[in-house]
Amino acid sequence: MKRIHPRGAVLMMSVLLSFLVVPVWATGAEQPIEAEETGEVTHTKEAETHLYPLVKYDFASLGSQGIHSPAAGLLLMNDELMLLGFYTRYGFTKSLEFGYPEVYHSIDLLLDGAKGNHQYIVLFKSEADKPILGGLASFQTAAVYGYRLLNTEHNSLVLGAGLAVSDFGIELEDGSPWPLIPVPLIRFNHESKLLSASFDFITGPNLSLTLMPENRVRVKADVRMDQFRDIHDLIFETELMYRFFGKDHPTGDFAGISAGIKNEGYSFAAEGKDEPVEVNYYSVFGSLDITLLKCTGGYVFDSRERYNGDDSSTMGRGFFLSIEGMYQF
């Protein structure tokens, strides 16, 4: 799953979607697709608009602490536009230290559009005990525009800029936060039979790689950094995948299994607190993906919590479970 720190970088589009399951048929010929020829979004003729209800439930047992997180959302896609709305409720099973609340809410909204070489993104994210109502520290929003400068058989490059609004830790003379900063947009894509790769940067790097993307056996890796304090800020997920059917099979590439390792992270702003409460855990996991439903479970071998920005403590070992589903209308 994809997380940012309330006083840190604005959420980029790929981070917003990193915790969702968008199966192959949801990005197929009638949708905006990552084209093999260009590595960038292309548009098919007479493409239809489709609606995808999304549901998700996660549970993480970290030592003596547990986190329940049911979620639901909607994804709308056509040949030039993608709209996403997603809500998650996080509930801790035990009281947190220093008077932090046990319940938090996450709201994710995204508009991602393209017209020819022009691309635009508008996004909003809030992870807090009181979303939006908690002030600038409880949400982040940004609007960026980019232009595709490179468009070859295997590579594409989009450069642009925009503005972001949040509490970035920049204070005015009267102590109030400066809410507005400029942000760059960098999007690079590479598509070939050997490697599918994408790199996005707004205020932090986000890298996604798939080795042998057309083979039934693949290696996939996603890496990002929201802050740069220590190694625990490196959020990653790497997995070895086996797909039951090849892309030329009549049923399509709709099912498979995988095994991997990841570092998952959470961060929540709390009213009256200068710093967010943060949790991250390392785990090995296995997944079964049949497109409409994906089930993942794993063993947590290290987990940490952080209350005061730089001080962290170990929570212990445990396990996590995740069930994700979607349907196409």
Q: How far apart are CA 166 and CA 15, in angstroms?
A: 17
Q: What is the pLDDT of residue 308?
A: 73
CB 12 within 8 A of CB 244: no
pTM of the model: 0.82
d(CA 96, CA 239): 32
Residue 256 neighbours by CB under 8 Å, 6+ apart:
216, 241, 242, 243, 244, 289
pLDDT of residue 172: 82
**Residue 35, Cβ density class (10 Å: 0-12 exposed, 13-18 middle, ≥19 buried):** middle
- Beta strand spans in the chain (E): 33-34, 41-42, 50-62, 65-77, 81-92, 103-115, 118-128, 140-151, 155-165, 180-191, 195-201, 205-211, 217-225, 234-243, 256-268, 277-289, 293-306, 312-314, 318-326
What's residue 4's pLDDT? 34
Counted residue by residue, the chain has a size of 329
Both tokens of 249, joined, read 């099979």
Q: Which domains does the chain have, with CATH numbers?
A: 13-326 (2.40.160)
What confidence score (pLDDT) does residue 44 get? 42
Structure tokens at 318: 């445990």
The answer to whether the beta carbons of residues 140 and 11 sit under 8 Å apart is: yes
| Tokens of residue 311, six digits | 């001080």
Please list, in sequence order, all residues whose beta carbon lies within 8 angstroms of the beta carbon of residue 161, skipping any fewer than 6 positions away. 144, 145, 182, 183, 184, 185
Q: Residue 299 forms beta bridges with which residues?
A: 284, 319
pLDDT given at position 16: 36
Q: Amino acid identity, residue 296?
A: T
The tens-digit pLDDT sequence of the chain (329 residues) is 333 333 333 333 333 333 333 333 334 333 333 333 334 444 444 568 999 999 999 999 999 999 999 999 999 999 889 999 999 999 999 999 889 999 999 999 999 999 999 999 999 999 999 988 888 888 999 999 999 999 999 999 999 999 999 888 788 888 788 899 999 999 999 999 999 999 998 767 899 999 999 999 999 999 998 777 788 889 999 999 999 988 787 777 889 999 999 999 999 999 888 889 999 999 999 999 998 999 999 999 999 999 876 667 889 999 999 999 999 88
pLDDT (0 to 100) of residue 202: 77
What confidence score (pLDDT) does residue 138 get?
A: 86
